[in-house]
Structure 1
Amino acid sequence: MVNRIGGLVSGMDVDGLVKKMMATQRAPLDKLFQKKQIAEWQRDAYRAVNTKIQTFDTYMADNLVLKELNSKTAASSNSKLVDAKATGSATGTISVEEVKQLASAGRLIGAQKHESATGSTKLSELGVQAGSTIEINAIQSNGLLAEGDTKINITEDMTIDQFISKVNSSNAGVTALFENGRFSFTAKNTGDVKDGPEIVLTGADALGFSADDLFNPDASKKAKIIEGQNALFTVNGIETERTTNQISISGYNLTLKEKFDQDTPVSISATSNIDEMVDKVKDFVKTYNEFVKDLTNQTKETRYSDYPPLTEEQRKELSESEVKLWDEKAKSGLLSRDSILRAGLSNMRSLIYQSNPGVEDSNFDTLFKIGITTTKNYNDGGMLEIDEDKLRKALTENPEAVEQLLTSTGDANGTVTKVDSSTGVEITVEADTRGFVKKIRDSLTSFKLAIETKAGRSNMSEDKFAIGRDLKSTVERMDNLKRRLETIEQTYWKQFTAMEQAMNKASEQASIFM
């Protein structure tokens, strides 16, 4: 470190002179700083686009993949007997001719031997020892008894209410109750376990479930076993048995509500909800257009090359409002004319015009045929518009074909069977059978990967993506240049210090001569 003498003899503003001289030397470092700042802004802009891609993809998954586009409404000829709801796959009419028996849950009712007990009574007062365990096995939704039991550990001073609460909040598969001196356990799942009980209690003898309690001579007080039973019904002439009254069959979700005989059959049918389907398509087009418009605008945003990022020194010289306005200009057009965004948008746009050979009805195998086209303004970047009358007509005539065109999973390398026009023979040919939504989602995946190759993700090291490697190289160059500038600054100070020392010596000699 050079001992600095700042113009004590010469009277010069050495510190100011050095700063001015260093400002010239620092110009290359400022250029590198600005380059680094632009790269960081651009990286963040790319990642913001990927966030929007993910948001759009999630929207499609939630609204057009997990939920069926073909919304149907079920009609039951007697909803008091059989209630019905239709899924998108509901087809035809089904008839429930008879319900002989409704499914019910198994139940164990303990003996009435604790008449004086209340919810605050301790289990120890009923003869249940602290440290003991009550094990519970109950019927599962598949109609089988659970293999693993649920253990309820009895702690010291545990009350009846605490025990009931612990059972009901567990995964035992039962609902426990204590009332009028008796315990009861009811299976949460209905149905009959073939060749076995629906609930098994182990270690609960003191609660009124011992063998003696079952055979108590006082019938009003003895323990009871109420067996669960399956639903027995006939649908389209087929006698059927299920463990529950909620039944999924042929695309319908039925709820058996009462028993009835063959004299009062219940007919179930479904119709497509055209209004709801139109609304879903319109919402998708609206979301698609917002996404396309946003990215198109970014590729067209003006780039102000005369507004490079401000250095710290430059920021100090401007007011807060001036800095804000400058930054807005400096950050504008970071992705202007960007090749990755333009390619991604172009790929999406090309999918709009493709037909789908996988759609069985060729009258509805393109978006155009169901009333969805691009806007006439090329500058819109491929935004969509809907001829609602045409869409409604297509949905009315063949809703399944429209659903297949839009949301079928299909395969990019799939196959379809068609008749050779020259020979009349059926042949199998390769074809892209993906629905439009699946094509868009696959296109977005490629789009997203291209951006990650350029700008990475927040959890990726800089070596893994292009901008990161450039940033790393720029930072290394900046560090080297900073070390070089420190050496130059020391040299300047050394020179001025030597000048001051020489002038001081000359002054001393002049004083001697005087």
Structure 2
Amino acid sequence: MTAMRIGGLASGMDIDTLVEKLMVAERAPLDKLEQKKQTYEWQRDAYRDVNTKLQTFDTYIADNLILKSLNTKTATSSNSDLVSVTATSAASGTLSIEGVSQLATAARKVGQSVTNNSGISASGTTKISDLNGSTFTGTTEQSILIKAITKSGTMATEATEIKFKATDTIDDVLKKINSSGAGVTAFFENGKLSLTATNTGALKDGSAEIQLVSSQTKDGNTVTATGNELFGILGVTGSDSSNPNNLVDGGQNAILRINGIDIERSSNTFTLNGYSITLKDTFNSNVTNPTEATVGKAVTLNSTTNVDEIITKIKDFVNTYNGLITDLKKLTSETKNRDYAPLTSLQRKEMEEKEIELWEKQAKSGLLKGDSVIQNGLSSMRSLIYQSNPAITNTKFNTLYNVGITTSKDYLSGGTLEIDEDKLRAALQEDSDSVTKLFSFSDGKEKDTVIVNGVTKEVDTRGFLQKLRGEMTKVKVNIEAKAGRASMNESQYTLGKFLRDVNSSIDTWETKLTSIESRYWKQFTAMETMINKANSQSTSLSSYFA
């Protein structure tokens, strides 16, 4: 229960103001704690902002230089009407396609004409139960188990289950087949059903490219096909009487000769030596022994490195990297303005919002000045420029400074990068594979065993970008140990523990100040009571002697 307060009625003093001024002095330790809390919070947020910058840069590297190859190559075909080509970063050598005797085609079968029970040619709207010879009735779901050749030229390991009812129309069933992902395209028109494998090619064992399955086990349960005979009712039956489940065959592989070697592919588009090749027509380059195929010269495929595009990517990387380094350098070298301490709650009440904003901008200066975690991280990142990579066999280009990328001569820049474009261009023109591998070698290992000058050594063979990401990860981990993440509680990182302790001290002081304020009011109330009694006695005596 709050004690009764008498606010200067007897003494005529402004007790409220007196107590408020006395409490200002008493609040000094609490103000310091609140300022300390604010500083910890600002430092925590500043550290987390650094981690956000590092993560943004890491994502940029991954998206633009790791997932998308740095080594951009352009491929050309001497006859793109017959063979078109694109190049991956692995494209190498010259390929001579001396003939294509057969293009890959998909297995297809067109069924016999089917009618409804009235002998009229069936249409897409005809119900399954109304087809001539249909044994399906009622609303019970039936299951088809069907599988087909895959893009790799092998048969699917698992059949796709497609369910239908006798009340479904032919169009309903076809829609289910075409959307099932079974690798089969179904089409019905003029009373006939056409089934085509989605993927081209022939199976090596000679079996049908579209097959039915009687039953299969999936997730521990046996699924039985109760509706496979639907295809027979729709006029499509297997050509192999010994195995009626072999539904559709006749697919064929592409057959061609490359650099003197006869090869087959299940698709007309395939990758070879880093080239993505698409066959468009058959031809034969042997004019002395012509066939029905197109006769002409061999189609030659070549690749060239797109040096300008690589340089553009490296320039963009360097600019982005320099922006990050400049920001981090500024944070660790910014001078603390000690004339601007965090505002207390009382000071905030006396200031306008714009004044508070300007004040806090100065008060936040130098929060991370001289921070060892960031400075050590910058030092480690800077040292990577001069590290050689033993995985690069061409020792002319096994360091970044050898290919024209060095740190700035201005030591105050914090290690920003500079590019000697002429030197970089010359290196790319001479050996683009080594230069791009130096930047990004995804097969490298942090601890790899290689032989250097006849001696087996354990070295770091990762590309520069992989090493850089590794160093940034170390910085992020160390920062999280200090400042945590939004999802962490205060006990999991250093500044959080400081905040927890200072909050505890603040709670203690607030309780203490409440007690002190109550004591002041108790004392002033007692004084007022005594003065009031004295005044009453004085009045009584005056009236007695009057």
Selected match of 1:286 from 319, 334, 344: 319
Instruction: Give per-residue Cα distances to partners, 1:146-197, cap 9 Å, x unaligned.
Output: 2333223325864444443333332222223332233333222222233422
Count of residue pairs the alignment pairs up:
502
**Which residue in the other structure is 1:413 paired with?**
447
Give the distance between the partners of 1:25 and 1:79, measured in 2 at CA.
Answer: 88
Distance 1:490 1:160, change over 3 A: farther
Instruction: Give per-residue Cα distances to partners, 1:241-262, cap 9 Å, x unaligned.
Output: 2221221111211112222234
Are 2:190 and 1:199 aligned?
A: no
- How does the TM-score come out when normalised to structure 1? 0.90
**Which residue in the other structure is 1:369 paired with?**
402
Instruction: Give per-residue Cα distances to partners, 1:94-125, cap 9 Å, x unaligned.
Output: 22222222222223434322565555554454
**Which residue in the other structure is 1:98 paired with?**
99
Distance 1:350 1:503, change over 3 A: same
Selected match of 1:254 from 277, 290, 300: 277
**Which residue in the other structure is 2:505 paired with?**
477
Distance 1:306 1:243, change over 3 A: same
Give the conservation status (yes or no) of the 8 Å contact 1:109–1:225.
no
SS at the partner of 1:229? coil
Cα drift, residue 280 of structure 1: 1.4
What stretches of structure 1 of length at least 5 have no aligned partner?
217-223, 420-425
Cα drift, residue 427 of structure 1: 3.2
Cα drift, residue 347 of structure 1: 1.2
Give the conservation status (yes or no) of the 8 Å contact 1:111–1:214.
no
**Which residue in the other structure is 1:139 paired with?**
149
Selected match of 1:429 from 457, 482, 505: 457
**Which residue in the other structure is 2:298 paired with?**
265
Give the distance between the partners of 2:63 and 2:176, measured in 1 at CA.
Answer: 36
Give the conservation status (yes or no) of the 8 Å contact 1:358–1:431.
no
Instruction: Give per-residue Cα distances to partners, 1:224-269, cap 9 Å, x unaligned.
Output: 9452222222222222222212211112111122222342432222
Letter in 2 for 1:306: D
Instruction: Give per-residue Cα distances to partners, 1:193-233, cap 9 Å, x unaligned.
Output: 334222235666675534975499xxxxxxx9452222222
Distance 1:21 1:121, change over 3 A: farther
Give the conservation status (yes or no) of the 8 Å contact 2:184–2:195.
yes
Give the distance between the partners of 1:97 and 1:471, measured in 2 at CA.
Answer: 75
Distance 1:506 1:178, change over 3 A: farther
Give the distance between the partners of 1:108 and 1:480, measured in 2 at CA.
Answer: 86
**Which residue in the other structure is 2:289 paired with?**
none
Mapping of 1:73-88 within 5 angstroms? 73-88=74-89
Distance 1:312 1:175, change over 3 A: farther
Distance 1:112 1:471, change over 3 A: same
Give the conservation status (yes or no) of the 8 Å contact 2:114–2:235.
no
Cα drift, residue 477 of structure 1: 0.9
Are 2:387 and 1:354 aligned?
A: yes
Moved more, 73-82 or 114-123: 114-123
Letter in 1 for 2:321: Y
Instruction: Give per-residue Cα distances to partners, 1:33-53, cap 9 Å, x unaligned.
Output: 111111111111111111111
**Which residue in the other structure is 2:219 paired with?**
none
Selected match of 1:230 from 240, 247, 253: 253
Moved more, 230-239 or 337-346: 230-239
Distance 1:14 1:155, change over 3 A: farther
Give the distance between the partners of 2:281 and 2:534, measured in 1 at CA.
Answer: 119
Moved more, 351-360 or 163-172: 163-172
Letter in 2 for 1:490: S
**Which residue in the other structure is 1:298 paired with?**
331
Mapping of 1:387-466 within 5 angstroms? 387-409=420-442, 410-419=444-453, 426-466=454-494
Give the conservation status (yes or no) of the 8 Å contact 2:98–2:299.
yes
Give the distance between the partners of 2:21 and 2:130, measured in 1 at CA.
Answer: 93
Instruction: Give per-residue Cα distances to partners, 1:338-357, cap 9 Å, x unaligned.
Output: 22211111111111122223
Give the conservation status (yes or no) of the 8 Å contact 2:78–2:301.
yes
SS at the partner of 2:358? helix
Letter in 1 for 2:174: I
Selected match of 1:187 from 197, 217, 223: 197
SS at the partner of 2:232? coil
Percent sequence identity is 50
**Which residue in the other structure is 1:240 paired with?**
263
Moved more, 376-385 or 125-134: 125-134
Cα drift, residue 358 of structure 1: 2.7
Give the distance between the partners of 2:347 and 2:191, measured in 1 at CA.
Answer: 85
Distance 1:178 1:213, change over 3 A: closer
Moved more, 42-51 or 144-153: 144-153
- How does the TM-score come out when normalised to structure 2? 0.85
Cα drift, residue 28 of structure 1: 0.9
What stretches of structure 2 of length at least 5 have no aligned partner?
213-224, 240-246, 287-296
**Which residue in the other structure is 1:168 paired with?**
178
Are 2:536 and 1:508 aligned?
A: yes
**Which residue in the other structure is 1:221 paired with?**
none
Give the distance between the partners of 2:318 and 2:104, measured in 1 at CA.
Answer: 45
Give the conservation status (yes or no) of the 8 Å contact 2:125–2:171.
yes
SS at the partner of 1:355? coil
Give the distance between the partners of 1:10 and 1:165, measured in 2 at CA.
Answer: 96
SS at the partner of 1:209? helix
Moved more, 186-195 or 85-94: 186-195
